[in-house]
Amino acid sequence: MATAKTAPPASRRRESSRLAILDAALALCREEGYTKLSVEAIAARAGASKQTIYRWWPSKGAVLLEALEREVAESVTIPDTGDVVADMRIVVGNLIRRHADPNFGPHVAALIAESQQDPALARDALERFVKGRRAPLAERLRRAQQLGQLPASLDPEAILEVVFGALYHRLLLRSGPLDAAYGSFVVDVVFTGAAARLDPATDGSHLR
Amino acid sequence: MATAKTAPPASRRRESSRLAILDAALALCREEGYTKLSVEAIAARAGASKQTIYRWWPSKGAVLLEALEREVAESVTIPDTGDVVADMRIVVGNLIRRHADPNFGPHVAALIAESQQDPALARDALERFVKGRRAPLAERLRRAQQLGQLPASLDPEAILEVVFGALYHRLLLRSGPLDAAYGSFVVDVVFTGAAARLDPATDGSHLR
Amino acid sequence: MATAKTAPPASRRRESSRLAILDAALALCREEGYTKLSVEAIAARAGASKQTIYRWWPSKGAVLLEALEREVAESVTIPDTGDVVADMRIVVGNLIRRHADPNFGPHVAALIAESQQDPALARDALERFVKGRRAPLAERLRRAQQLGQLPASLDPEAILEVVFGALYHRLLLRSGPLDAAYGSFVVDVVFTGAAARLDPATDGSHLR
Amino acid sequence: MATAKTAPPASRRRESSRLAILDAALALCREEGYTKLSVEAIAARAGASKQTIYRWWPSKGAVLLEALEREVAESVTIPDTGDVVADMRIVVGNLIRRHADPNFGPHVAALIAESQQDPALARDALERFVKGRRAPLAERLRRAQQLGQLPASLDPEAILEVVFGALYHRLLLRSGPLDAAYGSFVVDVVFTGAAARLDPATDGSHLR
DNA sequence: AAGTAACCGAGACGGTACGTCCGGTCTTTGC
DNA sequence: GCAAAGACCGGACGTACCGTCTCGGTTACTT
């Protein structure tokens, strides 16, 4: 009656090489910066051959993406205290703290940068880093909408784009410090309408 | 009569070379994309020598920055109809139209990307492209604050960071179409408090 | 039985590239002259990359040196008729014929020239071209010394320096035609004492 | 009639520039070696412009040639003790001493090297440095021929080529020390027939 | 247990671009 | 009208990585 014990076709890929390469990529990025990161350097540092890298990743950006993913694998739990603004304040605070970390923020910046010239990486980064990790956040907003705490007509993902956009602005353009105060400011503007015009005559009227 | 006899020593720089180089940089960027842009290619296309480029610009990014600057040199006049939200709607609409132009937006994205690995370019781009061109806009917001149309406590530049951040998010991450609808959405969120929570119990209370 | 199982690690160097590069160097030198010879040109002509050249040779001079070596690889047999002067006449005649060849002499001249600014090439050229190829000739002179046909007190290598020096003088300074007559003259002066002073009173006395 | 105060058409060439350039060339050559010698470097050191150099000299080699000429301008007097071999011993000794000087020999070598790729310089160097400076020496040999101290059938210039060739061999190929012993050896070989074969049966017979 | 095929390290290879240097020409400005 | 200053085009330098390609050696699955 035949064998086929268990194992799926199973790639013969060596896990030790994979990890060494991811580690080397991260380490190089931290020590020398993304600029100095090259497939050649990763291979040398990891004791791997370039071929092995090219066999499994399409580009150095993809290696870094996977390395970063491994780093932040611990699932981020979204608080739900019932107060969506308060929750957002916490979440944005955490996000900012993480992106202000010189071991994380600049790498994200580098990936966004690399994405400009590498459509495949762009797609991957968008899917796995942006949409993927943002999903529970969007879900939290949707719950708030159902509770009538947020206008139901607004696309939660779009709102998050405004929030993250503000965050990335400081990350990418260094237009100011990426700190708690800025995070608070952004939450105020987006979730409390802090910047809404005061003129009572027309306030909100365009929204109908 | 007494006129100023002697002009300043005056750089011996040849204007024709400068323009040829800027034109070549833009043309190459449009035809082949920023990736294919190289000092070598610019020099060849401009009929200039690499040395001439390195004499006057520190990097290919700096060349493109100056070329783009020349392109958008025509002063952008900020409307002032008295209604700051309406004005912002117009301004953001124009901004989006410009950045959606495949002959402009991707180049801005490329410069932001390049800035991540080139501090000098980052500084330049921030100063000349971001702060410089945004100044009249901030001024417009300040005027609105004086008229009580906008909370005086908010830093206009920071508000603009949220607006531009949202814009750049779509430009850099391609998380959705960079179109008029999105622009309108962003203005709503930022300037009319469209995403402010509806819950009347706590509305705005945290602001004071 | 026990044969050597494992071959030496063996360089992975590709012979086809090596030959293409040597051929290209020679061809370029012949067609355009040593001045026009550049690593860049060799690489282009050979369909090789510059890196490949720099990997295996320290300079363009070294490439040409090896190319020339390959050209004259056929072992030059030194005649030994018993008459050392007659043999030298033949050898010097051959040498002159070879160096008068526009496909050889000028390249040797170029290498000597290049050696003035490249100590490594100088060492190589001296070892492989001068001492190496001259060794059998020195051996021939040493045999003549043993037979009493040549003063045993004279260093054969030094004698050859006089002979080759005279030859190179015409090659490098173009002070006159590099032809058989000159070769004969040099052999006369060096090996028959043709220029020795006739004055019998003091002849040779200083030698003891 | 008329003006024409005094000066002949007279080049307006500035002597101070000329001297500064020659001095700079020599100094650079001594301090850094001929390799580092460039028109650019000479101009910078001399406080002159490149154009001034190119106006008056065809190449950097020509500058050095003129500079060296100025250095050895003091006429070299050829001794004439009546004993041509003794005189030659003195002359060759002086030549060797001069060429062994690191401030002279290497420059001569460099000029000979440069001549290989610069026909104009080759012509100049041959005429002004070789033939010109060797003329009194040839004259001395001609006198010896008239006195029957040297075979009249031999071209004195050709004899000198053998002598200088031997000298240049050591200078250019560094095949051995360029010292008094070598000079003495060369004089012995050329002017006393020290290397002439000893075999009495055929000695000199081939000369007729 | 042997055969075999994917995987691995190593690193040579053809390329492209880098940023620098120098050659030789041309232009501007001052004496 | 020559000279200093120096910008300019051109071309080669030697280096760094790219992405592809063998080469042997080592697993780990198959038979």
pLDDT tens-place string over residues C21-73: 999 999 999 999 999 999 999 999 999 999 999 999 999 999 999 999 998 87
Whether the CB of B148 is below 8 Å from some CB of chain A: the reply is yes
Length of chain B: 208
Q: How confident is the model at residue B6 (pLDDT cuts 50, 70, 90)?
A: very low
Burial of A157 by CB count in 10 Å (0-12 exposed, 13-18 middle, 19+ buried)? middle
Are 3 or more Cβ–Cβ pairs between C and A shorter than 8 Å? no
Tokens of C163: 């002979």
Looking at residue C77, its pLDDT comes to 85
CB of A117 lies under 7 Å from some atom of strand E: no
The CA distance from A161 to A182, in Å, is 16
Q: In this complex, is the C-beta atom of D62 within 8 Å of any C-beta atom belonging to chain C?
A: no
Burial tier of C93 (Cβ tally within 10 Å: 0-12, 13-18, 19+): middle
Q: Which residue of A has its CA nearest to B177?
A: A158
CA of A11 to C1' of F28 (A): 11
The answer to whether the Cβ–Cβ distance between A190 and B190 falls below 8 Å is: yes
Contact C/D (≥3 CB pairs under 8 Å): yes
C-beta separation of C183 from C85 below 8 A: no
Residues 6+ positions from B118 with CB-CB distance below 8 Å = B59, B61
Minimal-distance CA residue of chain D relative to C195? D191
Confidence of residue B197 (pLDDT cuts 50, 70, 90): confident
User: How confident is residue B129, by pLDDT bands cut at 50, 70 and 90?
Assistant: confident
Residue in chain D closest to C189 (alpha carbons) equals D190
Are A161 and B174 in contact (CB < 8 Å)? no
Mean pLDDT score of chain C, rounded to an integer?
Answer: 89
Q: And the tokens for B156? A: 């206009």
Our CA-based measurement puts residue B163 at a distance from the nearest CA of chain A, in whole angstroms, of 7
Dist CA C35 CA D105 (whole Å): 24
Q: Which of the other chains make 3 or more beta carbon contacts under 8 angstroms with chain C? A: D
State, as a whole number of angstroms, the distance between the CA of B13 and the C1' of F10: 18
Give the tens place of pLDDT for each residue, B12-41. Answer: 899 999 999 999 999 999 999 999 999 999
Return all residues near B101 (Cβ < 8 A) that are at least 6 apart: none
* Half-sphere exposure at residue A178, Cβ-oriented, CA atoms within 13 angstroms: 25
Predicted local confidence at residue B9, as pLDDT: 55
Which amino acid, C139? E
Q: Residue B97, exposed/middle/buried by CB under 10 A (0-12, 13-18, 19+)?
A: middle
As a whole number of angstroms, the longest Cα–Cα distance in chain B is 76
CB C185 under 7 Å to nucleic chain E = no
Q: How far apart are CA C51 and CA C44, in angstroms?
A: 12
Q: What is the dihedral of CA C179, C180, C182, C188, to 10 degrees?
A: 170
Confidence class for position D11, pLDDT limits 50, 70, 90: low
Q: How many Cα atoms sit within 13 Å of B121 on the Cβ side?
A: 21
Best CA proximity match to C12, nearest among C52, C67, C62, C65: C52
pLDDT for D171 beyond 90: yes
- In tens, the pLDDT along B39-63 reads 999 999 999 999 999 999 999 999 9
> Which of D111, D140, D162 is most worth mutating to test chain C (most C CB atoms within 10 A of its CB)?
D162
Alpha-carbon distance D99 to nearest alpha carbon in chain C (angstroms): 14
What was the pLDDT predicted at C75?
64
Flag whether residue C160 sits within 8 Å of chain D, measured between CB atoms.
Answer: no
Cβ atoms of C19 and C81 within 8 Å: the answer is no
With cut-offs at 50, 70 and 90, classify the pLDDT of residue D31.
confident
* DSSP string for B37-86: --HHHHHHHHT--HHHHHHH-SSHHHHHHHHHHHHT-SPPPPP--S-HHH
Helix (H) or strand (E) holding D9: none
Cα–chain-centroid distance for residue A89? 18
**CA of B117 vs chain A CAs: smallest distance (Å):** 6
- What region does C74 belong to: left with phi over 0, alpha with psi -120 to 50, or beta? beta
Q: What residue type is assigned to position D85 of the chain?
A: V
- Please answer whether residues B118 and B57 qualify as being in contact, where contact means their C-beta atoms are separated by less than 8 angstroms: no
pLDDT at D4: 41
| 35-54 on C, CB < 7 Å from strand E | 46-52
User: Does B have 3 or more CB contacts under 8 Å with A?
Assistant: yes
What is the structure's pLDDT at D129? 83
Chains touching chain B, criterion 3+ CB pairs below 8 Å: A
Q: Quick check: helix, strand or coil at residue D156?
A: helix
Average pLDDT over residues D40-67: 90
- For chain B, what is the mean pLDDT? 89
Give the phi and the psi of residue C109 in degrees, each rounded to 5. -60, -45
pLDDT tier, C1 (very low <50, low <70, confident <90, very high otherwise): very low
Cβ of C18 near strand E (distance < 7 A): yes
Tell if D54 CB is < 7 Å from nucleic strand E. yes
The pLDDT, as a whole number, for residue B133 is 87
C-alpha distance from B180 to closest chain A C-alpha (Å): 14
Using the structure, give the distance in angstroms from the CA atom of B58 to the C1' atom of E11, rounded to a whole number: 35
Q: What angle do CA C164, C165, C166 make, to 5 degrees?
A: 90
Separation between Cα atoms, residue C164 and residue C158, nearest integer Å = 10
Q: What is the mean pLDDT of residues D140-168?
A: 94
List the one residue out of B89, B57, B128, B67 whose CA is nearest residue A173. B128
Q: Which nucleotide is nearest to A42 (CA to C1')?
A: F17
**Calpha distance C117→B206 (Å, rounded):** 79
The predicted-structure confidence for D57-104, as pLDDT tens digits, reads as follows 998 999 999 988 887 766 678 899 989 999 999 999 999 999 999 989
When CB atoms are compared, the residue of B126, B150, B164 closest to A174 is: B126
Structure tokens belonging to residue A119: 């459509």
Is residue C167 within 8 Å of residue C96, measured between CB atoms? yes
From the candidates C184, C189, C198, C202, which should be mutated to test the interface with D, based on the most D CB atoms within 10 A? Answer: C189
Average pLDDT over residues C161-168: 97
The pLDDT of residue D163 is: 97
- Helix (H) / strand (E) element for C121: namely helix C119-124
Mean pLDDT, to the nearest integer, of A19-45?
93
Structure tokens at A70: 């491994």
From chain C residues 162-191, the ones with a CB under 8 A of any chain D CB are 162, 164-170, 172-176, 182, 185-186, 188-191
B77-124 residue pLDDT tens = 899 999 999 999 999 999 999 999 999 999 999 999 999 999 999 999
Residue D114 has what pLDDT?
93
- Over residues A135-167, the pLDDT tens digits come to 999 999 999 999 999 999 999 999 999 999 999
Determine whether the distance from the CB of A23 to the nearest atom of strand E is below 7 Å. no
Answer yes or no: are the C-beta atoms of A145 and A151 closer than 8 Å: yes
- pTM of this prediction? 0.86
